[in-house]
Amino acid sequence: MDNKQLQTYLNTFWDNEITPTLTEYIKIPNKSPAFDSDWETNGYTDKALKLAVDWTEKHRPKESTLHVKRLDGRTPVIMVEIPGERDGNILMYGHLDKQPEMEGWNDGFGPWNPVMKDGKLYGRGGADDGYALFASIGTINGLIEQGVSLPRIVILIEFCEESGSPDLPYYINEYADIIGNVDLVICLDSGAGNYEQFWTTVSLRGMVACELRVDVLTEGVHSGSASGLVPSSFRILRQLLSRIEDEVTGEIIVNELQTNIPDHRVDEVKKMVAALGGKTEAFPWHKNMIPSTEDPVEGTLKRTWTPTLSFVGLDGIPAVKNGGNVLRPYTTLKLSFRLPPDVDCHTAMTAVDKVLTNNPPSNATVGLKWEEPANGWNAPRLSPWLDRAIQEASETFYNKPALAMGEGGTIPFMAMLGERFPNAQFVITGVLGPESNAHGPNEFLHIPFAKKLSSCIGYILNQYPR
């Protein structure tokens, strides 16, 4: 294979076919079902599906088959089945649903307002993970153009990843004959430590999330009359949360959520930090705010291998301008737990449920509403051919060696595949590098980096053992 020819092909394909399509995709507010309960009625998922299907029909390889599957009441799935000329079965994965808007976008920018600036395409969903389908097909076409002999490849794109992929297991079971027995998984939904070399993700945290509600009254009452006698629902919540989290250190104190970090993962973090000049991922700190630790190795392990709790939603409390002197009847918090890669999500969920609901303070009414949990993932060791191909690809297209990293986020599909195909190899990578801010304001896709990443994937596909 001519590597320069592949890069030239993909540069042109990105400029003429992928970037314009992603620009249109960003305009569609197709939020994941967890954030749009009326997603079927609103029709944005169907609009994004049509855009993807129309584009795929135009660009998919000639001998391929496009499958659009839709089980009743579930989000759709796109599968592109590309027959191979040699042994092997590769699964390429991405998703086409989005996180909600979030506040804080810069002037002139917005979640559904695509803006190209300094080689970066801003807007919700371009980097997480709208580009995956288009980049996968472009990469395969670039290999076919050179007459490269490929194994069988299936591209699978779902529409509920940001909701924890609750629909995906049904499709995996229903269409197992299309997916086949997977030997290699390539996922384009992860991150990068910088934009200067190829990065593979070797671990992902799991997640459980719930709504925790505390009721103390049937209606709000005058705070001057009730306070001191009626316990505040917010104070009850504080007591419950102290059963879960040390409020000073942020440490999770429920044993079922803890793990021992493998030594080889610690070594990988040390190599990563050294390659990045002793720095970790940059965050937009407010004024004099400081991190929980100044040690970059410890900090990286904290956000990739330790359990954490985030408070991502709040109900029952009026806006400050509307807050009267009322002792409120209830408070609801949405809790998001990140779990170590090897902690079972159902075990964690059961433990937290028990801790929060047993013997509630002041006999308050405590309710929990759980979302679909998701396990984390710890990658198997790379086969020699794949380790070599990854390093050669990075050196070829970035002129730097590839590096491994853990991610603090969750891709539920990886754990599903790891359980179903225990002998499969994995290349988990993506374009979510520094400041790309997936899920937050000013999310962007670094186009020059994505072009080289596409070429690296092509190199790895070409090196698949014959």
Q: Number of folded domains in the chain? A: 2
Q: Are residues 210 and 355 located together in one domain of the fold? A: yes
Q: Are residues 120 and 247 located together in one domain of the fold? A: no
Strand 221-222 to 444-446 pairing: unpaired
Residue 159 lies inside a defined structural domain of this protein:
yes
Distance CA 257, CA 240 (A): 17
* Phi/psi at 404 (5° precision): -105, 150
Distance CA 445, CA 138 (A): 17
Mean pLDDT of 344-349: 98
Residue 161 pLDDT greater than 90, yes or no: yes
Is residue 440 very low, low, confident or very high in pLDDT (cuts 50, 70, 90)? Answer: very high
Mean pLDDT of 447-461: 98
Residue 12 lies inside a defined structural domain of this protein:
yes
Q: Are residues 195 and 50 located together in one domain of the fold? A: yes
Q: What is the pLDDT of residue 119?
A: 98
- CATH number, domain of 101, equals 3.40.630.10
Q: What is the pLDDT of residue 4?
A: 98
Question: What are 221-261's pLDDT values in tens digits?
Answer: 999 999 999 999 999 999 999 999 999 999 999 999 999 99
Beta bridge partners of 370: 210
Strand 326-327 to 425-428 pairing: unpaired
| 111-115, 232-236, 275-279, 408-412, range with the lowest pLDDT | 275-279
Residue 287 lies inside a defined structural domain of this protein:
no
Q: Are residues 144 and 220 located together in one domain of the fold? A: no
Q: Are residues 246 and 118 located together in one domain of the fold? A: no
What 3-state class would DSSP assign to 380?
Answer: coil
Q: Are residues 395 and 321 located together in one domain of the fold? A: no
Q: What is the pLDDT of residue 281?
A: 76
Contact 16, 138 (CB under 8 A): no
What 3-state class would DSSP assign to 104?
Answer: coil
Q: Are residues 215 and 175 located together in one domain of the fold? A: no
Q: Are residues 90 and 162 located together in one domain of the fold? A: yes
Question: What are 172-227's pLDDT values in tens digits?
Answer: 999 999 999 999 999 999 999 999 999 999 999 999 999 999 999 999 999 999 99
Residue 143 lies inside a defined structural domain of this protein:
yes
Q: What is the pLDDT of residue 279?
A: 81
Question: What are 377-391's pLDDT values in tens digits?
Answer: 999 999 999 999 999
Distance CA 81, CA 153 (A): 6
**Domain end: 370, 392, 412, which one?**
370
Mean pLDDT of 156-172: 94
Residue 446 lies inside a defined structural domain of this protein:
yes
Q: Are residues 383 and 364 located together in one domain of the fold? A: no
Cα three-residue angle 62-64-70, rounded to 5 degrees: 135
Domain extent, residue 165, equals: 3-204+377-463
Q: Are residues 454 and 312 located together in one domain of the fold? A: no
Q: Are residues 312 and 337 located together in one domain of the fold? A: yes
DSSP-assigned letter for residue 16: I
Q: Are residues 231 and 344 located together in one domain of the fold? A: yes
Q: What is the pLDDT of residue 283?
A: 87
- Cα 351 to Cα 199, 248, 250, 347: the distances in Å are 35, 22, 18, 6
Is residue 466 very low, low, confident or very high in pLDDT (cuts 50, 70, 90)? Answer: confident
In what helix (H) or strand (E) does residue 405 lie, and over which residues does it extend? strand 403-407
Distance CA 336, CA 370 (A): 10
Mean pLDDT of 81-102: 97
**Domain end: 320, 351, 370, which one?**
370
Is residue 413 very low, low, confident or very high in pLDDT (cuts 50, 70, 90)? Answer: confident
Q: What is the pLDDT of residue 333?
A: 98
Mean pLDDT of 137-160: 98
Mean pLDDT of 358-386: 96
Residue 220 lies inside a defined structural domain of this protein:
yes
DSSP per-residue codes, 34-96: GG-TTHHHH-HHHHHHHHHHHHHHHHS-TT-EEEEE--TTS--EEEEEE--SEEEEEEEEEE-
Distance CA 418, CA 377 (A): 8
Beta bridge partners of 110: 113
Token couple for 74: 């579930």
* Phi/psi at 205 (5° precision): -80, 155
**Domain end: 355, 370, 385, which one?**
370
Residue 282 lies inside a defined structural domain of this protein:
no
- CATH number, domain of 361, equals 3.30.70.360
Residue 302 lies inside a defined structural domain of this protein:
no
Is residue 459 very low, low, confident or very high in pLDDT (cuts 50, 70, 90)? Answer: very high
Residue 438 pLDDT greater than 90, yes or no: yes
